[in-house]
Amino acid sequence: MKRVLIDPRRCTNCRVCRVETECTMKAVFRELPEDRPWVDFYRCNGCLECKAWCPDHAIEELTYPCNGQPRMGW
Ligand code: SF4
Ligand code: SF4
């Protein structure tokens, strides 16, 4: 299973977040307009298209290997 998360250390909180506006699964949310966006794992299908949309490379792949332990990237 593959999902993504937005690394808060890299995300610069763009006024218009392309990850939020272009995700076809509508998996990206902000609690308030000024907050950093976050990804809802239940909506994200792991397509990874958003990796190309974020100018600050804040999108991290999250994989769940067979032992169920999450790890970042590859
Ligand atoms: S485009 Fe990238 S850096 Fe900008 S708000 Fe979205 S996730 Fe953060
Ligand atoms: S991986 Fe695909 S579904 Fe998940 S947040 Fe990015 S664009 Fe949306």
Residue nearest to atom 4 of ligand 1 (CA): 14
Q: In angstroms, how far apart are the furthest CA atoms of the chain? A: 38
At 74, is the pLDDT very low, low, confident or very high (cuts 50, 70, 90)? Answer: very low
Give the chain's end-to-end CA distance (angstroms, integer).
13
Atom of ligand 1 nearest to the CA of 57: 2
Domains of the chain listed by start with CATH number: 2-72 (3.30.70.20)
The tens digit of pLDDT for each residue in 20-36 reads: 999 999 999 999 999 99
Whether residue 54 has its Cβ less than 6 Å from ligand 2: no
Q: 47 — phi, psi (to 5°)?
A: -70, -25
- In whole angstroms, what separates CA 5 from the centre of its chain? 4
Ligand nearest to the CA of 45: 2
Q: Ligand 1, atom 2: nearest CA belongs to which residue?
A: 54
Predicted TM-score of the model (pTM)? 0.85
What is the bridge-based pairing of β-strands 38-39 and 28-29?
A: antiparallel
Give the pLDDT confidence of 35-66 residue by residue, as tens digits: 999 999 999 999 999 999 999 999 999 887 55
Q: Is the pLDDT of residue 14 over 50?
A: yes
**Closest Cα to atom 6, ligand 2: which residue?**
50
CB 66 within 8 A of CB 19: no
